[in-house]
Homo-oligomer: A and B are copies of this chain.
Amino acid sequence: MRDVAVIGIGMTQFGELWGKSIKDIFVEAASKAIKNAGVDHIDSMYVGSMSSGLFVGQEHLGAVLADYLGQNPIPATRVESACASGGAAFRAAYFEVASGASDIVLAGGVEKMTDGADVTDALATAADQEYEVYQGVTFPGLYAMIANAHMNQYGTTREQLAAIAVKNHRNGANNPNAQFRNPVTLEQVMNSTLVADPLRLLDCSPVSDGGAAVILCSMDIAKKFTATIIKIKGTSQASDTIALHSRKSLTTLNSVVTAAQKAYKMAGVTPNDINFAEVHDCFTIAEAVVYEDLGFCEKGCGGPAAEEGRTAIDGKTPLNTSGGLKSKGHPVGATGIAQIIELYEQLTGQAGKRQVKNAHIGLAQNMGGSGASCVINILEAL
């Protein structure tokens, strides 16, 4: 298997992009990535998108976007794993380069969520339609159940969850592409509108439009384009039961545990070697649980870690320096690729006021549904 590197990145502003179509958004992100990489062509492309059919009435998105990007006749394929679609597209591109079939491949992600669809209903198609959604539960409700169980089992507090939102908004304030660049206080989170007890509005990632793209290539080509090689050191993916009710525990995400073990093994590292991570904080409780399941600490410490500053930019393991899904925004198909972009910016020292000191190895964890899919990628600056 050939080594693979990331050599270029591009993304749009995340937010409510009323003036731009899904095509405009993707073409902007992909064009930036191609220009940033400095390549004169791409061999193929993958696009992560959760539900362009339900959101904007357009399937066949790979072909549509290749056309509007002016890239015919290259192969163009959409990859979908709900909110982990971006991570899954990245892995598809990785395999194509690693196999030797292609040298330079674009992995992108895009979602246009604000254009009229019933967003909560569309997102709920990532849960078990038959046994969860038809009974009336949507994702805020599912993650609220996880939060209640975590509070009950480990004593996680409402304040600790709020501390995660406060941290991510603080980070996002320094990210020019973030949807929300306003810091929030603990009191604001605690007093925001109740969505699904105990989760409040400021525990929830927003509805967003946005696109992101990266260029992957073989290691020998990467060396021609850049001095600082960002190598894909580990990549993994795992699944879990689609419905929460089928799981033995609500407080451990098995797909995260399994994918982490595989990614660490492939990369030859332990959690202690990870200098920073982007994780899938669709709700504050998700960041707490994922932090634990990635092995950064024992079960139950996710809440205290945020409260005590261990996950802050100057903490032991900075989490979501980009602002995370909470502050940066969560155009679902683009999120997994945007995580890779934050890793790239940190590893190449381009993260500005968000820069983590001594950032050599970063991890991105992207999740679908209530954890039925998990994709993990570990990148290293050589």
Chain A 52-75 interface mask (CB, 8 Å, partner B; 1/0): 011011111111101100011111
Instruction: Evaluate contact between B63 and A81: CB separation under 8 angstroms.
Output: yes
A185 at the interface (CB under 8 A from B): no
A278 at the interface (CB under 8 A from B): no
A28 at the interface (CB under 8 A from B): no
* Residue among B64, B75, B96, B239 making CB contact with A238, cutoff 8 Å: B75
Question: In the docked arrangement, what's the CA distance between A289 and B245, Å?
Answer: 51
Residues of B within 8 A of A38 (CB): none
Binds B, one of A220-228, A338-346, A365-373: A365-373
A233-272, CB < 8 A from B: 236-243, 246, 254-255, 258
Residues of B within 8 A of A237 (CB): 44, 75, 77
Question: In the docked arrangement, what's the CA distance between A155 and B50, Å?
Answer: 44
Instruction: Evaluate contact between B82 and A60: CB separation under 8 angstroms.
Output: yes
A53, A126, A373: most-surrounded residue (chain B CB, <10 A)? A53
Instruction: Evaluate contact between A238 and B73: CB separation under 8 angstroms.
Output: yes
* Residue among B72, B74, B88, B369 making CB contact with A77, cutoff 8 Å: B88
Instruction: Evaluate contact between A129 and B95: CB separation under 8 angstroms.
Output: no
Instruction: Evaluate contact between A60 and B99: CB separation under 8 angstroms.
Output: no
Question: In the docked arrangement, what's the CA distance between A76 and B373, Å?
Answer: 8
Name A237's closest neighbour in chain B (CB-CB): B75
Question: In the docked arrangement, what's the CA distance between A126 and B44, Å?
Answer: 19
Instruction: Evaluate contact between B58 and A129: CB separation under 8 angstroms.
Output: yes
A98 at the interface (CB under 8 A from B): yes
A79 at the interface (CB under 8 A from B): yes
A159 at the interface (CB under 8 A from B): no
* Residue among B2, B53, B67 making CB contact with A241, cutoff 8 Å: B67
Name A125's closest neighbour in chain B (CB-CB): B59
Q: Shortest distance in angstroms between A261's beta carbon and chain B's nearest beta carbon?
A: 10
A75, A236, A246, A372: most-surrounded residue (chain B CB, <10 A)? A75
* Residue among B23, B53, B77, B258 making CB contact with A81, cutoff 8 Å: B77
Question: In the docked arrangement, what's the CA distance between A50 and B23, Å?
Answer: 19
Question: In the docked arrangement, what's the CA distance between A258 and B44, Å?
Answer: 13
Q: Shortest distance in angstroms between A44's beta carbon and chain B's nearest beta carbon?
A: 7
* Residue among B79, B130, B239 making CB contact with A21, cutoff 8 Å: B130
Instruction: Evaluate contact between B98 and A67: CB separation under 8 angstroms.
Output: no
A80-B77 CB under 8 A given contacts A63-B368, A72-B241: yes
Question: In the docked arrangement, what's the CA distance between A130 and B64, Å?
Answer: 11
* Residue among B57, B76, B101 making CB contact with A98, cutoff 8 Å: B101
What would 20 more interface pairs be, CB under 8 Å, given A74-B239, A98-B100? Answer: A23-B130, A50-B59, A53-B54, A59-B80, A60-B80, A60-B81, A60-B82, A62-B88, A62-B239, A62-B373, A63-B239, A63-B369, A67-B243, A72-B240, A73-B258, A75-B239, A77-B80, A78-B81, A79-B92, A98-B101
Residues of A within 8 A of B (CB): 1-2, 21, 23, 44, 50-51, 53-54, 56-64, 66-67, 71-82, 88, 91-92, 95-96, 98-101, 122, 125-130, 133, 236-243, 246, 254-255, 258, 368-369, 372-373
